[in-house]
Structure 1
Amino acid sequence: MNIWKKFLSAEIEIELKASLYFYTMLFFYFGYRFLSGSLSADIIIIIEMIASTYIMGFVQFFLLGNFDEEENFSWKESLKVFGCSLGYTLVSYLGGWFDRNLAVTAIYFVFMLVCYGCVYWFFSVRRSLRTKQMNIELENFKRKKIEKENG
């Protein structure tokens, strides 16, 4: 059962990251389509986006050490952010998400760098809230234990 829990925990983290990055990519793509004068989106591009976020999620989790959840962000994590953003940008260019427009693709690269920063901040806030909640629960447990011992 322990292996199952580890797998499930990893899958939940990958699922969360894939969702966060997919929504940011979709936002940029929809903005691009709208500013290009179109109110429609290519379903194949959306499927490519979903697939790329899942693949990148597995790469980040298993090969890159889940770097966007690190407590401290150093040059090592910055290189990983750069590489992942470049990977997404390459997929977007090869898939023709932005009609292979180099200017838009370059803006998308910068957008993805910012998204990684936002996701890092999101996980930092989440970690802080979880730590705070665990400390409250620990204090309550200690208090109840003392009350029980004192009768």
Structure 2
Amino acid sequence: MNKAGMLKALAATAMVSALTLGLAGPASADGSVTWKNGKTQWYLASSPNGGGVTTTNYYWHWQDIQNSDGTWNEVDQFGNCLTGYGSQAYTEKCNSGRDGTNPYQRWREINTGSGWKLQNVQSGGFLDESGSGSGYGSVYVNGTDWNNQNQRWY
């Protein structure tokens, strides 16, 4: 193979690798993830005893567990599941194992090409952050898909 042919082959391999890596992200496999808000750049966080969720300026790890229906459980560091009920987002005790949760505790992870939208299975609403960026943000489920950075998670 001549030099030009070798360069074309390397470029094609690099492009395929870049495309493959570009599709990977938090929703790519079961495991530990952090969810960082696209607007505020703060991380989704919870409290030890369940209850409301918020955002914070330090890493907060969640366990991403895929169910057989393609949805995901988001389990916090204390074993509680991210739950959406109406417009409320909070954590509560759950059977976090694969297929062990109810529709309120299941989320669709939708790749937007510039992050992820987390859509609650029961309500169809999207995990949203108030976007204040001036401290701990208010996290809730928004019934309207604004397709904006407040609803984008990385």
Same fold judged by TM-score > 0.5? no
Structure with greater proportional helix content: 1
Structure with greater proportional strand content: 2
Normalising by structure 2, we get a TM-score of 0.30
Structure of greater Rg: 1
Normalising by structure 1, we get a TM-score of 0.31
